[in-house]
Chains A and B, each alone.
Chain A
Amino acid sequence: MKRQAEWRGGLLLAVLLIAWEVIPRLGWVDPLLLPPFSRVGTRLLTLAVSGELVQHAAASLGRVLTGYGLALAVALPLGFLLGLSEPAEQFARLTVQLLRPLSPPAWIPLAILWFGIGNAPAIFIIFVGTFLTLLTGTIAAVRGVDRRLVQAARTLGCSRRSAILRVVLPAALPELLTLVRLGLGLAWMCVMAAEMVAVSRGLGFLMLEARNLFRTDTVLAGMLTVGCLGLLLDGILRLVQARLLRWQVGRRAYEMPGD
């Protein structure tokens, strides 16, 4: 079953890659605008061998991990607090709702004014771009915990405080892990936006510079790298998820693709 699922997943990708190879070669589109896959692959290899790609990828990855890690470290505990305490959530509600419509690119000018050029503005943008989504998601996950589970724990002698760790946390965990995966995708979007303006290294920078030189193959090679890195990180998170939520096997109405 599993092997069949993987095979099927690869099928569409293979068809698309073949089309990507064939269509420019047949001259249906200008190869300058869409170089065939093999040329992009070669370019990717050249960049990888020269070490240039690793440098850019490492810079992007470092920013994502730092910015997103900081956002997680602040948003998850704070979201727990706000989710558990109605007055605290009411206190924060208006502010959160005011800030939420500000999409990550909206923060870029301010980030550059405050932090100049380099890692700091990019990390800042990832932080603000993911923080509120993580916060509101965590509040919702905590709020969604069946209160009877907490009541059952309490009448089994569990203190209020230990019920938070032993009941609310595991009960909210499935939703929290999905949230962390979604947030990571968001962090990648933020880093790309940030790197197109505020840095001199990173995959976003690589692509922007290649555009200026009309190197479509490098632009596409950069995009492929972003896709692969995202896939890799999400794969790691999926493994963590599968391990932590082993009890859910066979519980869901349908399994998510790739799970």
Chain B
Amino acid sequence: MKCLEIEALSKVYPGPDGPIEAIRRVDLAVREGDFVAIVGPSGCGKSTLLQIVAGLERPTSGRVLFRGQPVRGSSHERTLIFQESALFPWLTAQGNIEFGLRNLGLAAAERRARAREALRWLGLEAFAGLYPHQLSGGMQQRVALARALAVDPALLLMDEPFAALDALTRRRLQEEVRRIQEERRQTVLLVTHSVREALSLADQVVVLSGRPAVVRTTMPIPHPLSPSALVEWEEAIHRYLMDELC
């Protein structure tokens, strides 16, 4: 069963010196339960792609089908997680999580219960009453993850979610995401510039070219990946990307 189908998607922005072509005829499919990572050189239009899937931007041409239906506008079914946590600073961790649940029309008691559950998934019970500025960067990103998972999205979109974290925190959060993805069979579309991150998390890695972004190759990744295999895969993908930079 296909969760997401992207067909011949193109995006052209009006720029000061004429139109800027961000994405050119990208095709991509994500099955239910898949973890797909998109890698590519920075500024290549990966984020734009995610914004279009989230329904925050319109494509110039091409189609995006979500569970067989064309995407029109944004929805909690396609929740987006940003590089910086984008938490609401005036709400506590729990309040942030309940924000999305209110949109689902849940009663207060149920909102609270589900928010508690989401906090527990990410080991945040003790931080429920704290405001974002009282949390470390890693904790903030955990809350953002809990907030996104609480609305039970069919497709979780992640835009460089760990790029602003230190190496250790990043690693721990990556493991957490992998665990949750496996437990919930959560469909994930991740955008990252880190090939290693893509390889250690995703079942499938899509390599995009530099601007305008076109799909260079799509690789299914066997899991678990031995350390030596990881290095080999990384080397292979880096070669693809190096060609792009020249």
Contact = CB atoms under 8 A, between A and B. Distances in A.
Interface of A: 146, 148-149, 151-159, 162, 166-167, 170-171, 173, 245, 247, 250-251
Contacts of B63: none
A155 B104 contact: no
A151 B56 contact: yes
B104 A157 contact: yes
Contacts of B55: 154-155
Contacts of B82: 148, 151-152
A205 to B, nearest CB: 44
Interface in B46-81: 51, 54-56, 74-76, 78-80
A149 B76 contact: no
A148 B86 contact: yes
A166 B157 CA distance: 23
B121 interface: no
A157 B86 contact: no
B99 A153 contact: yes
> For chain B, what secondary structure do more than half of its interface residues adopt (helix, strand, loop), or is it mixed?
loop
B103 A156 contact: yes
B99 A155 contact: no
Contacts of B103: 156-159, 162
Contacts of B151: 156-157
Contacts of A167: 88
Interface residues of B, number: 30
A255 to B, nearest CB: 14
14 contacts: A151-B51, A151-B54, A154-B55, A155-B76, A155-B157, A156-B76, A156-B103, A157-B100, A158-B100, A171-B88, A247-B90, A247-B92, A251-B89, A251-B131
B75 A157 contact: yes
Given A155-B56, A155-B76, A156-B79, A149 B133 contact: no
B56 A149 contact: no
Contacts of A171: 88-90
Interface of B: 51, 54-56, 74-76, 78-80, 82, 84, 86-92, 99-100, 103-104, 131, 133-134, 147-148, 151, 157
A162 B104 CA distance: 13
Contact of A148 (B79, B84, B134): B84
A155 B131 contact: no
Contacts of B51: 151
Contacts of B76: 155-157
B79 A155 contact: yes
Given A151-B74, A157-B100, 9 more contacts: A151-B86, A152-B80, A153-B99, A154-B74, A155-B56, A156-B151, A158-B100, A166-B99, A171-B90
A247 B89 contact: yes
A149 B100 contact: no
A156 B151 CA distance: 7
Contacts of B104: 157
Contact of A250 (B87, B133, B147): B133
B99 A156 contact: yes
Given A155-B79, A155-B80, A157-B76, A149 B86 contact: yes
A153 B147 CA distance: 11
Contacts of B147: 156
A126 B87 CA distance: 39
B89 A155 contact: no
A155 B54 contact: yes
A142 B91 CA distance: 19
B3 to A, nearest CB: 16
B86 A152 contact: yes
A171 B86 CA distance: 12
